[in-house]
A and B are shown apart, each in its own frame.
Chain A
């Protein structure tokens, strides 16, 4: 079992709809969770971080964390074509300096 699992996609969502990206993890010691957006040929860009159970909203983005069920998700409201990218879920555990990445979900917003 991979440490961090994401559906590789592609996930196609109509413009203006809600895009829902999911990530599950196996290490119960995981403590901090991050979502990165990566456009083709570019570097990852941090868009959300979440550290405690519940929802965290920032503009059109909402991150959701459920440590009991070991999943973290990212919702993108009012999806725009510019949201088309690969979204990487990443996490760290207490006492570990490494950021563990999922394989990423490719999201395509259809105009």
Chain B
């Protein structure tokens, strides 16, 4: 089983709202990732967690705040977003960081109005 789940599937939020995206995996993976994908572009890495600790932040604006409460869960807290933040947000996991296969969740389609 290589399933990564994400909720919600769709989210519409105003620029003053606070919302959270959730990601879960039960494969025993110890690396989890957040990506952002715009139309007709490849996924763009945002954050990497390894053993529940943040190991990479790709200079993401502070209005995006990641959290890894335990080895199975990954959250992305959103606050004061801009319309240009509208995109598909993808969570992925791999056994460990490095040259391991990454498995993506179905994504959350975010629209900022």
What is the minimal beta-carbon distance from A101 to any residue of chain B, in angstroms? 4
A49 nearest CB neighbor, chain B only: B101
Q: State the interface size on chain B (CB cutoff 8 A).
A: 23
Q: Is the C-beta of B95 less than 8 angstroms from some C-beta in chain A?
A: no
What is the minimal beta-carbon distance from B54 to any residue of chain A, in angstroms? 12
Tell me the dominant secondary structure on chain B's binding face: loop
Q: Is the C-beta of A58 less than 8 angstroms from some C-beta in chain B?
A: no
Query: Which B residues are CB-close (under 8 A) to A99?
Result: 45, 102
Q: Is the CB of A42 within 8 A of B101?
A: no
Query: Which A residues are CB-close (under 8 A) to B55?
Result: 97
Q: Is the CB of B106 within 8 A of A42?
A: yes
Q: Is the CB of B88 within 8 A of A43?
A: yes
Q: State the interface size on chain A (CB cutoff 8 A).
A: 24
Among A34, A43, A49, contact of B105 (Cβ-Cβ < 8 Å): A43
A91 nearest CB neighbor, chain B only: B99
What is the minimal beta-carbon distance from A11 to any residue of chain B, in angstroms? 15
A44 nearest CB neighbor, chain B only: B104
Q: Is the C-beta of B107 less than 8 angstroms from some C-beta in chain A?
A: yes
Q: Is the C-beta of B71 less than 8 angstroms from some C-beta in chain A?
A: no
Q: Is the CB of B99 within 8 A of A43?
A: no
Bound state CA distance, A44 and B33, in angstroms? 14
Tell whether A34 pairs with B101 under 8 Å between CB atoms, given A98-B45, A101-B43: yes
Query: Which A residues are CB-close (under 8 A) to B43?
Result: 44, 101
Bound state CA distance, A46 and B94, in angstroms? 12
Query: Which B residues are CB-close (under 8 A) to A32?
Result: 99-100
A sample of 7 inter-chain contacts (CB < 8 A) reads A43-B90, A44-B104, A46-B103, A97-B31, A97-B56, A98-B45, A98-B48
A binding-site residues for B, Cβ under 8 Å: 31-32, 34, 36, 42-46, 49, 51, 88, 90, 92, 94-99, 101-104
B binding-site residues for A, Cβ under 8 Å: 2, 31, 41-43, 45, 48, 50, 55-56, 88, 90, 97-107
Extra 4 A-B pairs, beta carbons < 8 Å, given A46-B104, A97-B97, A103-B41? A31-B99, A42-B106, A46-B102, A51-B99
